[in-house]
């Protein structure tokens, strides 16, 4: 019996869910719960955390999960680490669907840093208009540089007060190059802070920054435990089909 658990929340995970549904593979799609109105999926869906490694391991056993697919955001490091540990504890095959990171091309003006605190330090001391394209859970450290005029973009309106005054844009991607150029020009954006998420859905802001000659403070991906990793839905389907044929 094949029963897959998709740890999702990304556009790639939605594409995978659609392909798995078409193949009529028994699977559950799991949202972490950060987005209040997540996109509908063609699979049975659960929302919320598991309760750490032990909770995820218990879920895998209870639901008789035979394969775990980590299709979370490249910066969802805690969930990815939990998936590695819970899969090892339960002896469940694990694979990660992880888009390739962006790479610098001619014309890019990147300042590459290791984490959010380093990104804060890399911002200038003089007041500037800054687009923080990093997700709401990572913005608090920027309160140490309140002189800047920040623009934030969220999928949902913020429920709690922000740690600093900001222009909040509520919108769901993917975003177009034309739209990103317009947003940056109308708001007078001078700096961009981004995480190296990779993929096409969020790349438009990086291309727009290059066209406008804007500096981008690029936060590197967190280090994760060693695991099987692929970059396409087709490779995931091949992995599932190969193991199903073997009766693993």
Structure tokens at 231: 């970059």
Is the Cβ–Cβ distance between 29 and 43 less than 8 Å?
A: yes
- How much is the pLDDT for 34? 67
Residues in Cβ contact with 232 at an 8 Å cutoff, skipping those fewer than 6 apart? 97
pLDDT-above-70 percentage for the chain: 95
188-201 average pLDDT score: 93
Q: What is the C-alpha separation between 103 and 94, in angstroms, rounded?
A: 27
239: helix, coil or strand?
helix
4: helix, coil or strand?
strand
Tally the C-alpha atoms within 13 A of residue 93's C-alpha that lie toward its C-beta.
16
Please state the φ and ψ torsions of residue 28, each to the nearest 5 degrees: -125, 135
Of 15, 142, 5, 157, the residue nearest 66 (C-alpha): 5
Residue 137, judged by CB atoms within 10 A of its CB (0-12, 13-18, 19+), counts as exposed
pLDDT-above-90 percentage for the chain: 82
Task: Choose the weakest-confidence range: 43-47, 55-59, 119-123, 168-172.
Answer: 168-172
Please state the φ and ψ torsions of residue 146, each to the nearest 5 degrees: -75, -5
Q: What confidence category does residue 156 fall into, taking pLDDT thresholds of 50, 70 and 90? A: confident
Is the Cβ–Cβ distance between 43 and 15 less than 8 Å?
A: no
Q: What is the C-alpha separation between 230 and 226, in angstroms, rounded?
A: 13
- How much is the pLDDT for 1? 83
14-23 average pLDDT score: 95
- How much is the pLDDT for 137? 84
CB atoms within 10 A of CB 204: 19
Partners of 247 in the beta sheet? none
């Amino acid at each position: 019996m094949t029963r897959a658990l998709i740890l999702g929340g990304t556009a790639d995970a939605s594409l995978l869910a659609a392909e798995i549904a078409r193949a009529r593979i028994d699977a559950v799609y799991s949202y972490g719960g950060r987005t209040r109105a997540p996109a509908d999926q063609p699979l049975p869906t659960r929302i919320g955390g598991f309760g750490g490694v032990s909770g995820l391991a218990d879920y895998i056993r209870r639901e008789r999960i035979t394969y775990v697919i980590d299709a979370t955001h490249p910066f969802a490091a805690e969930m990815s680490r939990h998936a590695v540990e819970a899969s090892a504890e339960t002896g469940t095959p694990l694979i990660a669907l992880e888009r390739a990171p962006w790479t610098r091309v001619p014309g890019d003006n990147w300042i590459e840093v290791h984490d959010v605190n380093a990104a804060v330090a890399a911002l200038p001391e003089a007041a500037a208009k800054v687009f923080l394209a990093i997700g709401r859970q990572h913005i608090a450290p920027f309160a140490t540089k309140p002189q800047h005029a920040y623009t934030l973009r969220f999928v949902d309106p913020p429920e709690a007060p922000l740690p600093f005054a900001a222009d909040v844009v509520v919108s769901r991607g993917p975003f177009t190059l034309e739209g990103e150029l317009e947003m940056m020009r109308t708001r007078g954006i001078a700096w961009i802070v981004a995480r190296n998420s990779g993929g096409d859905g969020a790349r438009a802001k990086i291309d727009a920054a290059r066209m406008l000659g804007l500096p981008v403070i690029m936060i590197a991906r967190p280090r994760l435990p060693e695991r099987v990793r692929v970059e396409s839905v087709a490779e995931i389907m091949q992995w599932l089909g190969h193991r199903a044929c073997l009766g693993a």
